[in-house]
């Protein structure tokens, strides 16, 4: 077995299968495109069947890889269970947990059902799919998991405007960062690669809906705020995965030093004397 571009572990049978959630737009679609170009077979997961079919058909034609589509709402337990079963299959060597919704709004004014949905997609589904993937990867001695968080995981008490009102969303992304870093430490002596991607504002359609409904239509859109091009975000992630970096913050100067400062701050917080 050898490791080649895009962080893929290659065997005599090729790179294997990558599962990408939230693959019907934005960052998820670009992951699918880049992985297909690198020779990965794909399982694309999202709510929008027509969008998935368009992406899958295009990649089968342009990249010549096998592409499955799995129409699923990861906030629905039955759909999550179906997706977890596919993720646990022995051909899966890469899981990209990209699906996420924002539920932006004042905490006291946002529909509790929407906040529950944010927790279900951003935390429960990501955790369940990671749990489905990792044991089999360990048995096979190869695999990688990329969990997509956000720079808002580090926004803490910063006020809204220009940042969104984000108490639950920011909390879920803080969970993704801590979960992934801790899981990576737990698996440090194994062949698996675990990464948390923390993009800032990215030029996608993410801000066009809070998550109750998907953006309609086949044409992918970009919210008015713009942001970093999607390809730059995915390029940063795949390069970091190749290096074995656990935390990837696209566009950050000297990420190693920033992470060292974060770890030092965490160490200091834990050093408070106990009564």
pLDDT at 122 over 70: yes
Domain span at residue 133 reads 15-269
In a domain, 156, yes or no: yes
CB neighbour list of residue 228: distance below 8 Å, 6 or more residues apart: 199, 200, 201, 202, 203, 250, 251
In a domain, 1, yes or no: no
Provide mean pLDDT across the span 75-99: 98
Q: What percent of the chain shows pLDDT beyond 90?
A: 81
In a domain, 8, yes or no: no
pTM comes to 0.91
Mean pLDDT lowest among 11-15, 103-107, 260-264:
11-15
Q: What is the pLDDT of residues 130-151, one digit of tens each?
A: 999 999 999 999 999 999 999 9
In a domain, 7, yes or no: no
Q: What is the pLDDT of residues 6-49, one digit of tens each?
A: 544 454 345 899 999 999 999 999 999 999 999 999 999 999 99
User: Regarding predicted confidence, which is higher, 4 or 262?
Assistant: 262
In a domain, 9, yes or no: no
Q: What is the pLDDT of residues 156-169, one digit of tens each?
A: 999 998 899 999 99
- Measured between alpha carbons, how far is 192 from 209 in angstroms, rounded to an integer? 35
In a domain, 60, yes or no: yes
Which residues are the active-site residues?
169
Q: Say which CATH number the domain at 184 has.
A: 3.40.50.720
Domains held by the chain: number: 1
Provide mean pLDDT across the span 63-71: 98
């Amino acid at each position: 077995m050898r490791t080649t571009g895009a962080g893929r572990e290659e065997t005599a049978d090729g790179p294997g299968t990558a599962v990408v959630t939230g693959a019907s737009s934005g960052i998820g679609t670009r992951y699918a495109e880049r992985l297909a170009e690198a020779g990965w077979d794909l399982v694309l997961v999202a709510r929008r069947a027509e969008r998935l079919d368009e992406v899958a058909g295009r990649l089968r034609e342009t990249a010549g890889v096998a592409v499955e589509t799995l129409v699923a709402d990861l906030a629905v337990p039955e759909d999550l269970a179906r997706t977890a079963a596919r993720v646990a299959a022995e051909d899966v060597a890469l899981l990209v947990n990209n699906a996420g919704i924002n539920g932006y709004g004042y905490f006291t004014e946002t529909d509790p059902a929407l906040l529950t949905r944010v927790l279900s997609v951003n935390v429960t589904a990501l955790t369940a799919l990671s749990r489905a993937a990792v044991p089999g990867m360990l048995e096979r001695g190869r695999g990688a998991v990329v969990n997509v968080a956000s720079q808002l995981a580090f926004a803490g008490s910063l006020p809204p405007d220009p940042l969104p009102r984000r108490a639950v969303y920011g909390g879920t992304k803080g969970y993704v960062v801590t979960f992934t870093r801790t899981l990576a430490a737990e698996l440090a002596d194994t062949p698996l690669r675990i990464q948390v991607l923390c993009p800032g504002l990215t030029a996608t359609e993410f801000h066009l809906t809070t998550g109750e409904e998907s953006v309609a239509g086949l044409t992918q859109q970009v919210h008015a705020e713009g942001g970093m091009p999607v390809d730059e975000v995915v390029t940063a992630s795949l390069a970091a995965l190749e290096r074995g970096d656990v935390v990837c913050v696209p566009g950050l100067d000297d990420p190693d030093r920033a992470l060292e400062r974060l770890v030092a701050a965490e160490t200091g917080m834990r050093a408070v004397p106990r009564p």
